[in-house]
Amino acid sequence: MLSPTKTMASGKNAEMSGNRKKHCRRKLRSNGSLKGLKSLSEAIILQSIEDMFSPDHRNESLEFFSGNSFKVCSKLAGLDTKKQSEILFLMGGNKK
């Protein structure tokens, strides 16, 4: 695997210029990585909701919603505190 600072040019590894490296890093941060983290976090939350109804996975789901993992995923998914509380209330993890 190539390092982020190298590229394939005519079959050889060639160093990228400083401006090109900065552009690539900026593009990666603004394009796919944040969207990917948001999508992954949403999927984890939805899977954990579904797992609440599975006897085999219920305990894992309860741990997810009662621990720090839900807080981290919900922040990455863009859920505000009110939405987090609503989900926890629906899951029985937070009594209002």
- pLDDT tens readout for residues 24-48: 445 545 556 888 999 999 999 999 9
Q: Is residue 48 part of a domain?
A: yes
Q: Is residue 64 part of a domain?
A: yes
| DSSP-H helix ranges across 1-96 | 18-28, 34-51, 58-66, 68-76, 81-91
Q: Is residue 18 part of a domain?
A: no
Q: Is residue 8 part of a domain?
A: no
- Per the structure, the complete domain to which residue 81 belongs is given by 36-96
Q: Is residue 11 part of a domain?
A: no
* Spatial separation of the C-alpha atoms in residues 95 and 90, rounded to whole Å: 9
Q: Is residue 50 part of a domain?
A: yes
* Spatial separation of the C-alpha atoms in residues 37 and 76, rounded to whole Å: 7
Residue bearing the bigger pLDDT, 78 or 21:
78
pLDDT at 66 over 60: yes
Structural domain total, the chain: 1
